[in-house]
Amino acid sequence: MRAYKDLSREELLALKAELEKSYEEEKAKGLKLDMSRGKPSAEQLDLSMGMMDVLTSGSDLMCEQGVDCRNYGILDGIVEAKRLLSDMMEVPMDNIIIYGNSSLNVMFDAVSRCMTHGVLGMTPWCKLDKVKFLCPVPGYDRHFAITEYFGIEMVNVPMTPTGPDMDLVEKLVAEDDSVKGIWCVPKYSNPQGISYSDETVRRFAALKPAAKDFRIFWDNAYGIHHLYDDDQDELVEILEACREAGNPDMVYKFSSTSKITFPGSGVAAIAASDANLKEIRRQMTIQTIGHDKVNQLRHARFFKDINGMREHMRKHAAIMRPKFEAVTDQLEKELTGLEIGSWTKPKGGYFISFEAMEGCAKAIVAKCKEAGMVMTGAGATFPYGIDPKDSNIRIAPTYPTLDEMKEAAKLFVLCVKLVSVEKLLAQ
């Protein structure tokens, strides 16, 4: 395969005509594909239907603490749920609080609490002239939406194959006390599927922030969401690393079962140091009488323990893996050597990240849409929706069926080729 950039103008024009013909054929198929969000497929959701039978009218709904899960009581989670989620999050049971159905909500509340009440007795962020967050890019649009909503200035930090550019992170947090936080998806990152190296995690734990109220927002969304049985990423555990580095309070770790059981009907949690949890409980005591303990019990009894959950995740992987491979195989087969894009090949998580030629991402996504395939908007993986190079595209392969995904991958590479040719011709 010759790289497109080495083709003559005539060759490019001929190629363009050919690609346009294929594109019109694709368009004529009238596809209707949704690859916009990281949603599990119906087949994956079916895996958890047994959860609907765990609790019946004949069930004893007492939790181990002897509290009736149907009534008020127990602010921060029943023991059964704490045990399960602490195993899942690789933290001690005492360092976890069980929340409601959404870890995004927990993160929102955490930022909101910092805004109105500050961190461990320090000035509330809403009283400061300027608050900044570091945002590894590309990253998760909903993280960036939270910080934007609260008027927090976002500073891009490039991702590398081992995690965020730590030289830059260390420099920015050390020299600017308005830098109060950083968004991280440390394992199978959104959208690249990158897992932070041991060195990256250690450097995070050893940060020396100018702001004493700096916090790492560690969104462990894909902690056990492996695609392969025999090739899994393992991370250094951040709470322990922070404690060892003398920074026990520097991190909030978030997770949920949203992509394990049912999105929207799962159980979320936060893990942090004793001092942080004490402050969080103070907020929770005011905010709620307690979260849904019946659903906590349902989850705990369904999985029994972390082994049950890991077994369950293998079934998810069996459904997801062929879809991921349908995309990466197609990209490899069709784009290798053309020098019009690069992509990641994740071992877990929910996304594949595609890096198009500069200035091509928006056009590719638009072309896909025109042919009936909705993707995450180009730019969404950057703060304020602005990808400075207009090159990153997030591919979410889980929701469509495998056959649809194969169709989608074909259409996608076609659009990449066509837009790239047009770009080269316009230069």
130 binding its own copies? (CB under 8 A): no
104 binding its own copies? (CB under 8 A): yes
Among 82, 226, 291, 417, binds its own copies (CB under 8 A): 291
149 binding its own copies? (CB under 8 A): yes
* Cα separation values, 140 from 145, 180, 264, 345, 427, Å: 9, 18, 18, 18, 32
User: Measured from the CB atom, is 215 or 291 closer to its own copies?
Assistant: 291
Among 86, 189, 257, 295, binds its own copies (CB under 8 A): 295
Task: Round to whole Å and give the CA distance between 415 and 92.
Answer: 48
| Whole-angstrom Cα Rg for the chain | 23
71 binding its own copies? (CB under 8 A): yes
Among 31, 124, 202, 339, binds its own copies (CB under 8 A): 124
290 binding its own copies? (CB under 8 A): yes
402 binding its own copies? (CB under 8 A): no
Instruction: With contacts defined by CB under 8 A, name the span among 42-50, 220-228, 271-279, 336-344 that binds its own copies.
Output: 42-50
CB of 312 to its own copies, least distance (A): 15
User: Measured from the CB atom, is 145 or 174 closer to its own copies?
Assistant: 145
Task: Round to whole Å and give the CA distance between 396 and 384.
Answer: 21
Sort 303 into a burial class: Cβ within 10 Å, 0-12 / 13-18 / 19+.
buried
User: Under 8 Å CB-to-CB from 411, ≥6 apart: which residues?
Assistant: 26, 31, 33, 368, 371, 373
* Cα separation values, 188 from 90, 352, 412, 413, 423, Å: 16, 10, 22, 23, 32
Residues 225-244 interacting with its own copies (rule: CB under 8 A): none
384 binding its own copies? (CB under 8 A): no
Tokens standing for residue 48: 């958890």
* Beta bridge partners of residue 155, listed in sequence order: 134
CB of 382 to its own copies, least distance (A): 17
Instruction: With contacts defined by CB under 8 A, name the span among 94-102, 171-179, 330-338, 350-358 that binds its own copies.
Output: 94-102
42 binding its own copies? (CB under 8 A): yes
Handedness of CA 31, 32, 36, 42 (dihedral sign): negative
65 binding its own copies? (CB under 8 A): no
336 binding its own copies? (CB under 8 A): no
Task: Round to whole Å and give the CA distance between 368 and 95.
Answer: 45
Give residue 118's identity as a one-letter amino acid code: G
Instruction: With contacts defined by CB under 8 A, name the span among 52-60, 223-231, 235-243, 316-324 that binds its own copies.
Output: 52-60
Task: Round to whole Å and give the CA distance between 11 and 221.
Answer: 46
Residue 95 Cα to chain centre, angstroms: 22
355 binding its own copies? (CB under 8 A): no
Instruction: With contacts defined by CB under 8 A, name the span among 97-105, 187-195, 219-227, 350-358 that binds its own copies.
Output: 97-105
User: Measured from the CB atom, is 296 or 392 closer to its own copies?
Assistant: 296
Is the CB of residue 416 less than 8 Å from the CB of residue 396?
A: no
Nearest to 398 by CA among 33, 38, 36, 34: 38
Task: Please identify which residue in the block is written with the tokens 């069996």.
Answer: 318
Nearest to 19 by CA among 353, 371, 362: 371
CB of 220 to its own copies, least distance (A): 17
User: Measured from the CB atom, is 110 or 184 closer to its own copies?
Assistant: 110
User: Measured from the CB atom, is 30 or 264 closer to its own copies?
Assistant: 264
State the binding string over 263-282 for its own copies (x if CB under 8 A, else -).
Answer: xxx-----------------
Task: Give the footprint of its own copies on this chain (CB under 8 A).
Answer: 37, 39-40, 42, 45, 48-50, 52-53, 55-57, 59, 68-73, 100-102, 104-105, 108-109, 112, 115-117, 124, 126-127, 142, 145-146, 149-150, 262-265, 283, 285-295
